[in-house]
Structure 1
């Protein structure tokens, strides 16, 4: 198995803090998530997270108008310049002070930032520019405000800059030295912080919005009493007679609500305002006409953005980690995503590897699509923390255990809870395991020493497995046979045969508390992680220990701010709390309450690779050494609570629970959240694994796109030789040569050049050593290909020719068959949806008289065709509205073809209240 895993995506977190912004074409949304940046493609239904990390959480981001440079700044003022298209870091820069706002000029040549009470203007780094010593050159610094600057806005011609501040004023600045005196104007008159100031499209008016809900309109007019001078054309007007004056005042009248964020779209004269009670409004200026008034919840709207066309609005709420994209004209949601409010407890993959399921302390279960990175559905029937997740083998049933005393079974076709399992007494379940066949489900509890076994068909408790002398801490089922392994606080591991007649088992003695166990996919070995940092391996058939890995020396544990000892002396995190086998059973991945994920090679007991989870210094446990200049006799200066010094009243009020260190509201807890790994799971497709961490769900995958990995190569195999063989119509020979060279473009060319009538012949003659590679290639290629039937014919021919060999070597073909299964499952739902959409048009076309040319006899029939199409459109719109009916479920709404965008489709017999 390849071990070159790299970070590829971040799920479970869509927004933390700071501003959000659209790309220039309006199809991508850029959102800061902690110390990383995520990009959501709103048209192609995909998302990705940049690999680079900041030292602290990001406070603001900006993208230049050309869409090539992304600049992000963290809480300490450290900036990183990134090539947005190539996803590579170009430069680092430290502004040495907190940056509240950051904007590129419309021509892209400059960018301005609000650094304390100063406005700094910098030149944008350019390739074509003359060689200079530093990539960043400061162009100008403007001073004049008496308090921190809140926002900046450029004029459309990039000549002027308007800044707003906490000193209740706004100021206009000019980049041209000749206009400096004319443009140095202070806009005073507001009674609260000025949250934003904006130019009109003709730059004749400036609108300022304050925190108390006042909107002032400013115009550059002649002073009162001098109007008559302007009527005589030959009289020269003195410029000193002109000044910026308030020509109109408007108020939101939002009772106790305060303005939290505001933006303005100059082309359509639309003002969008977000309040601290979750409400947002749309106004048309200068008439101040209220267009819409909606609410996205009870928590404050922290960020708002509008795309260039003014059609889509984006809102972010940091309290809930919520992100919305709203199309105001059709009053529908394009995107509606929300991460877990609390810490994540468990993570698992679906059997086909296309989805990741997460469970949290907030009692919710979320299903995420791996390809798109979006949450598809949320289950919230549990009333307490969810502690365990497990799939049945076919992937249509999901099981979950919770501290509310229930184990629930979820139907992933209709998205509903169809079984609820409970014990004879009220106990809290802390671990879960499901038989791969889906016949039985088992759960363990700290309150009881027994393992409870239920029948999924009847929902009845069929057996309790007694034998442990302490609370059951973890359970694990084998994927191939019905072997159940359990671990307990009594320092023993027991292996049960669920369907056997006798349940007498010999315990496997362990000399420390077992924190996690995993059964090898073939069911012959069990691995256990213990409190002393060891990973022990036991042979199930022989009942003896066959190997051990000492993980203490491999774990990178950081120091907490309140620690009086060094990280090296800390015993807090020198162990693994979660482990999982790879698909071939030769590797194991382990993680715990520390900042490292370790990948081990089991036969040689060596560390293959260690992944650093996060470099975010806003979290505890990410630093090896504390900053000595901040250390005092009483501890670190970072531990001092300075909330009472904040200038805003809502920032001074602390409603948090004293001493609470867990929770999704990370910004207001007095104790810093600590970095930790709560769940690890390998993907069934073998090319990725998921880690549930404090930062979210981290996906690490193998990137094969840039790797030259030939197979059985010799000197005669060249790209030119492959093409020549193909031109001679030796399809099997050319296909084998392409696989030996392992160049994707060559394999693709040969694959599509094989005629339909020769597919069966080529498939039957394909050597079995290339069979897994062929199936894996088809599974990955078919996800993007338009030739559905062609790919299906290939799959059928390969399975027909080599079915017996595949069934006898399941362990070799597990990964590639899951890739094929994922393609077939997704295409099947798309075909069903397409046939359902075009059902009436098909009935009409097949029922028309064939003698009539074109299938339409007259205008009346033609009118009927249009009516049938309009009915289809009406059906589609109903489904779109239906998809967004529930506020707790996320999905794609309002896109041109919602059904084809969703990886999960509605079945005809689905419940109406489900996605």
Structure 2
């Protein structure tokens, strides 16, 4: 079995905190999700998460104007400079202080960063050349008396505006100008959140938290100087040649032209942005309301409520058509087209923890259930949630698909088991017990006709008929809460695990329910059947996984995973990690698609894969390196331990500057974890792990969200031309000589889509069959995948079909024997072919009358005899 799984996507979390950024073309949105960054492609309706991780939750991100470089800064000021196309970290830098805002200059040569009450400007490192000291500090700008909150560059990149908590905004020039002192824009009565230049830079707008907008213009000549200049600032004696625009901005004597107010009582401004092209000012309020105002007339275009919680971040696309909003408390991301008043994107993760997940039989969709009582279904290809069910009134404890994949069953602590139709998206069955109980686990018969659920308080297992909704049977015998249920894939038996340290296998369709329990050494946490139904695995509280032969009813082997899963100390641990018993057991186990290995996860940052036959660990995955979560550090920092306890455990939320952030409306004891402690730090843990039916991917419901790991196809070894001469220039030279096979292989080695596309479309159609026959097998998968993707976008339908026919005809036996590996490629190919067929058939149906007319006209023309023209 392949174990080269790598992180591929993060679903279930669309926004955590920080600022949202549009790409320069406006087609995608970058959103911080914990310590990662997710890109939402709004045009192709897809999303993907970069594989790099910051040390802690990301506080600010910035994208270069050419979209080649991304910089992400965490809560402590540690930043990563990332190559966007490759998703590779180029450089690290520590800004030493928490960063509130970071922004590239419009020409991309400088990066401005807030540094407490100062502003630092750094030269942008070259992402194409390796440098020893890539970050070079250009200048540090002082003058503010409190924390700087925002930075806005002028269009010529020679000056910028900053705003601060000291209720002022200031204008700085990038390089010193003769006789120039930084300008101060004062007069606001609350924190200034944003300052913006107009398109012609003759007007400046400042927005404060109390809902005031000041419009600044040049003062008339006869007016005296006001408080816009600081006498304590030194006059720069040296200067470089500034641009004409900078010279005009710097020498303008700015004064308040008008004062405008949003007139939104009982709310504060939280975030704002300005689009210079259309003079649109977008403002987000603490009540979830946002508004659009056209400047400088200050005419209100829209005022809409899009969320029940505070809007944390707002961004506007370069064209000014789309607005992106992020709500931190709800974990919500919205993209709104204000002209048509419609949603381009509306995504929200689970409000509380994600408890459980299940793969659909085709592996395309994943269903998740959370503590918020919601059930969400995610598409693994696009990464988007396409349906949310809110019928449950309490935490969802288990979800399961029927074998056909069109019905989803869910169990909840509200005492109901529900069946949802995934075609009409409705709840068509609700199963309940005679007396109210809390359901902790769920299992569905392979035929999809019987559903079983186990309870935590009555220790019973209930079985219902899906067709009628009636209770069929109640299985009793357990002496503790039922923790896990699993139907055999082939037989009529169901296995149940309980906290009474037993596993029972029930034959549910016979009259007698007498079972011989399998005795375990500790409380049973999870049970699962091998895909062929002949073996049963059960994990217990002491970290062991025991395997039983179902037909013989005896234990066959055992795996001790205590040392493998243990790792990561919590901030309040009083003992070493090696002596701590918590987090050293597997809460969820699942077999791989071929049944050779088992995947296991629990209250730890690790997920392990074991070889069942050998009883050894094959690979261990760390689900998160986010130090903002509890339990990710291997060793605690003794410098943080004081007489009052660990500094990390001090709840500093009461020191927040905004009143709504300081307020805590939760009741004592309702937070997750120890009821005697008011804990708010989340722990790194895995609630549920599941393997995809195709065997190409696995998913984990974790604190971070829905993590999806898939097989890394780039690890296939190919010794072709492993030298320094393999460059795009050499590839083009080979292509010019007409060596198409060599050029194609070189393009796949370089793995550059534009080069592969160029070589592919340069191949003559008469050579396709020969090239398909000579293509090395290691490139068969990427070649089929490329042709399938090309089929969706290119108008060269016949050329693509010739390639598909040649590849399938030549390598048919190879594809049939290894159908599991090529399953995902087959699905993409089938989708492309079916879409093309539907497009052509629809086109023909729409133009059938025109085609009939043309055929009739050709027949009429052929029946008219030729008339010779006689010229007299």
**Taking structure 1 as reference, are residues 641 and 33 closer, same or farther at Cα in structure 2, changes over 3 Å only?**
same
2:708 to 681, 689, 699: 699
Instruction: Tell me the residue number matched to 2:215.
Output: 217
SS in 2 for 1:182: coil
Instruction: Tell me the residue number matched to 1:716.
Output: none
Preserved contact between residue 124 and residue 136 of structure 1 (Cα < 8 Å): yes
Looking at structure 2, the residues matched to 773 and 420 of structure 1 have their Cα atoms a distance apart, in angstroms, of 50
Instruction: Tell me the residue number matched to 1:121.
Output: 121
Looking at structure 2, the residues matched to 688 and 240 of structure 1 have their Cα atoms a distance apart, in angstroms, of 58
Looking at structure 1, the residues matched to 116 and 593 of structure 2 have their Cα atoms a distance apart, in angstroms, of 53
Shift of 1:822: 7.2
Looking at structure 2, the residues matched to 552 and 675 of structure 1 have their Cα atoms a distance apart, in angstroms, of 17
Shift of 1:223: 4.0
1:167 equivalent in alignment to 2:179 = no
1:785 equivalent in alignment to 2:802 = no
User: Could you report, residue by residue, the CA deviation over 1:160-188 in whole angstroms, capped at 9, with x for unpaired residues?
Assistant: 11110111110100122125x43511101
User: Could you report, residue by residue, the CA deviation over 1:796-836 in whole angstroms, capped at 9, with x for unpaired residues?
Assistant: 999xx999x98xx9xx7566557646765787688669977
1:572 equivalent in alignment to 2:582 = yes
Shift of 1:127: 5.9
Shift of 1:705: 3.3
1:196 to 194, 212, 219: 194
Gaps of 5+ in 1: 228-237, 711-722, 728-743, 764-769, 856-915
2:421 to 407, 411, 430: 411
Looking at structure 2, the residues matched to 241 and 344 of structure 1 have their Cα atoms a distance apart, in angstroms, of 57
Instruction: Tell me the residue number matched to 2:263.
Output: 253
Looking at structure 1, the residues matched to 835 and 476 of structure 2 have their Cα atoms a distance apart, in angstroms, of 45
User: Could you report, residue by residue, the CA deviation over 1:453-508 in whole angstroms, capped at 9, with x for unpaired residues?
Assistant: 22222222222233334332211123344432111222221223344554333221
Instruction: Tell me the residue number matched to 1:176.
Output: 175
Looking at structure 2, the residues matched to 383 and 792 of structure 1 have their Cα atoms a distance apart, in angstroms, of 53
2:345 to 324, 330, 335: 335
Instruction: Tell me the residue number matched to 1:879.
Output: none
Instruction: Tell me the residue number matched to 1:639.
Output: 649
TM-score by length of 2: 0.84
Looking at structure 2, the residues matched to 51 and 294 of structure 1 have their Cα atoms a distance apart, in angstroms, of 36
Preserved contact between residue 486 and residue 528 of structure 2 (Cα < 8 Å): yes
User: Could you report, residue by residue, the CA deviation over 1:5-32 in whole angstroms, capped at 9, with x for unpaired residues?
Assistant: 1111111001000101011111121111
Looking at structure 1, the residues matched to 297 and 81 of structure 2 have their Cα atoms a distance apart, in angstroms, of 40
SS in 1 for 2:100: strand
Looking at structure 2, the residues matched to 402 and 826 of structure 1 have their Cα atoms a distance apart, in angstroms, of 39
Looking at structure 1, the residues matched to 167 and 199 of structure 2 have their Cα atoms a distance apart, in angstroms, of 25
Preserved contact between residue 198 and residue 264 of structure 1 (Cα < 8 Å): yes
1:649 equivalent in alignment to 2:659 = yes
Instruction: Tell me the residue number matched to 1:910.
Output: none
Preserved contact between residue 204 and residue 217 of structure 2 (Cα < 8 Å): yes
SS in 1 for 2:61: strand
Instruction: Tell me the residue number matched to 2:155.
Output: 156
Instruction: Tell me the residue number matched to 1:39.
Output: 39
**Taking structure 1 as reference, are residues 254 and 825 closer, same or farther at Cα in structure 2, changes over 3 Å only?**
same
Summarize the alignment of residues 369-388 of structure 1 with structure 2, pairs less than 5 Å apart: 369-388=379-398
SS in 1 for 2:595: coil
2:856 to 844, 851, 858: 851
Preserved contact between residue 775 and residue 820 of structure 1 (Cα < 8 Å): no
- Of residues 141-150 and 47-56 in structure 1, the stretch that sits farther from structure 2 once superposed is 47-56
Preserved contact between residue 391 and residue 436 of structure 1 (Cα < 8 Å): no
**Taking structure 1 as reference, are residues 638 and 185 closer, same or farther at Cα in structure 2, changes over 3 Å only?**
same
Instruction: Tell me the residue number matched to 1:76.
Output: 76
Shift of 1:307: 1.6
Shift of 1:640: 2.3
- Of residues 524-533 and 435-444 in structure 1, the stretch that sits farther from structure 2 once superposed is 435-444
Preserved contact between residue 768 and residue 806 of structure 2 (Cα < 8 Å): no
Looking at structure 1, the residues matched to 516 and 508 of structure 2 have their Cα atoms a distance apart, in angstroms, of 15
1:106 equivalent in alignment to 2:112 = no
**Taking structure 1 as reference, are residues 399 and 847 closer, same or farther at Cα in structure 2, changes over 3 Å only?**
farther
Shift of 1:603: 1.1
Instruction: Tell me the residue number matched to 1:865.
Output: none
Looking at structure 2, the residues matched to 176 and 369 of structure 1 have their Cα atoms a distance apart, in angstroms, of 50
Preserved contact between residue 180 and residue 251 of structure 2 (Cα < 8 Å): no
Instruction: Tell me the residue number matched to 1:719.
Output: none
Looking at structure 2, the residues matched to 305 and 775 of structure 1 have their Cα atoms a distance apart, in angstroms, of 40
Preserved contact between residue 656 and residue 669 of structure 1 (Cα < 8 Å): no
Shift of 1:346: 0.6
Preserved contact between residue 348 and residue 356 of structure 1 (Cα < 8 Å): yes
Preserved contact between residue 69 and residue 127 of structure 2 (Cα < 8 Å): no
SS in 2 for 1:100: coil
TM-score by length of 1: 0.80
Instruction: Tell me the residue number matched to 2:328.
Output: 318
Instruction: Tell me the residue number matched to 2:24.
Output: 24
**Taking structure 1 as reference, are residues 701 and 604 closer, same or farther at Cα in structure 2, changes over 3 Å only?**
same
Higher normalized contact order (CA 8 Å, seq sep 6+, divided by chain length): 1
Instruction: Tell me the residue number matched to 2:364.
Output: 354
1:8 equivalent in alignment to 2:8 = yes
SS in 2 for 1:99: coil
- Over aligned residues, Cα RMSD in angstroms? 4.0
Summarize the alignment of residues 415-814 of structure 1 with structure 2, pairs less than 5 Å apart: 415-500=425-510, 502-662=512-672, 670-708=679-717, 782=788, 785-786=791-792, 790=801
Preserved contact between residue 346 and residue 359 of structure 1 (Cα < 8 Å): yes
Preserved contact between residue 660 and residue 671 of structure 1 (Cα < 8 Å): no
Looking at structure 2, the residues matched to 781 and 519 of structure 1 have their Cα atoms a distance apart, in angstroms, of 38
Looking at structure 2, the residues matched to 362 and 307 of structure 1 have their Cα atoms a distance apart, in angstroms, of 32
Looking at structure 2, the residues matched to 334 and 456 of structure 1 have their Cα atoms a distance apart, in angstroms, of 37
Gaps of 5+ in 2: 226-247, 720-733, 739-752, 861-872
User: Could you report, residue by residue, the CA deviation over 1:347-381 in whole angstroms, capped at 9, with x for unpaired residues?
Assistant: 11111111111111111111111111111111111
Instruction: Tell me the residue number matched to 2:95.
Output: 95
Shift of 1:792: 13
**Taking structure 1 as reference, are residues 282 and 100 closer, same or farther at Cα in structure 2, changes over 3 Å only?**
same
Instruction: Tell me the residue number matched to 1:140.
Output: 139
1:345 equivalent in alignment to 2:344 = no
Looking at structure 2, the residues matched to 472 and 525 of structure 1 have their Cα atoms a distance apart, in angstroms, of 20
Looking at structure 1, the residues matched to 54 and 602 of structure 2 have their Cα atoms a distance apart, in angstroms, of 23
Instruction: Tell me the residue number matched to 2:243.
Output: none
Shift of 1:120: 0.8
**Taking structure 1 as reference, are residues 790 and 839 closer, same or farther at Cα in structure 2, changes over 3 Å only?**
closer
**Taking structure 1 as reference, are residues 756 and 397 closer, same or farther at Cα in structure 2, changes over 3 Å only?**
farther
1:60 equivalent in alignment to 2:60 = yes
Preserved contact between residue 400 and residue 409 of structure 1 (Cα < 8 Å): yes
Looking at structure 2, the residues matched to 662 and 268 of structure 1 have their Cα atoms a distance apart, in angstroms, of 47
Preserved contact between residue 661 and residue 673 of structure 1 (Cα < 8 Å): no
Instruction: Tell me the residue number matched to 2:724.
Output: none
Shift of 1:583: 0.5
Shift of 1:529: 0.5
Shift of 1:65: 0.8
Shift of 1:840: 7.7
SS in 2 for 1:372: coil
**Taking structure 1 as reference, are residues 755 and 600 closer, same or farther at Cα in structure 2, changes over 3 Å only?**
farther
Preserved contact between residue 59 and residue 74 of structure 1 (Cα < 8 Å): yes
